[in-house]
Amino acid sequence: MSNHGNEAVTNEAVTRAQEQAAAEGRAQGLEIGWTVFSYLLAGMAAYGLIGWLVGRAVHVALLFPFGMLLGLGISIGYIIYRFGRQPGVGRPVVDRPRKEITGDR
């Protein structure tokens, strides 16, 4: 008697598990990418708005672009602080629960 049938089922299950792990890794990468992108936009918008408001109050138009650049710099610093370090260096590994994705896949 041979175990070729069980072997095929096992190989198929392993392949399916590997494909699912790869898909979850890609989804996590996309989540991080969109988070970084939103930090960059939000920093520029928030500090650009602050610079624009202060610039209008003191009649200095250059505060708007300086505010945007300051917001971009602060955002890049925060992104490096949050995502640029390895998990084992100076902070514990925190495994956040994954958000459930609803809708069509």
Q: What is the mean pLDDT of each run of 10 residues along the chain (105 residues)?
A: 61 75 73 91 96 96 95 95 74 59 64
Neighbours of 43 (CB within 10 A): 21
φ/ψ of 93, rounded to 5, equals: -80, 120
Residue 63: domain span: 2-101
Indicate the DSSP class of residue 51.
H
Q: What is the pLDDT of residue 89?
A: 57
Structure pTM? 0.62
Number of domains making up the chain: 1
Q: What is the pLDDT of residue 18?
A: 75
CA 34, CA 18: separation in Å to the nearest integer?
25
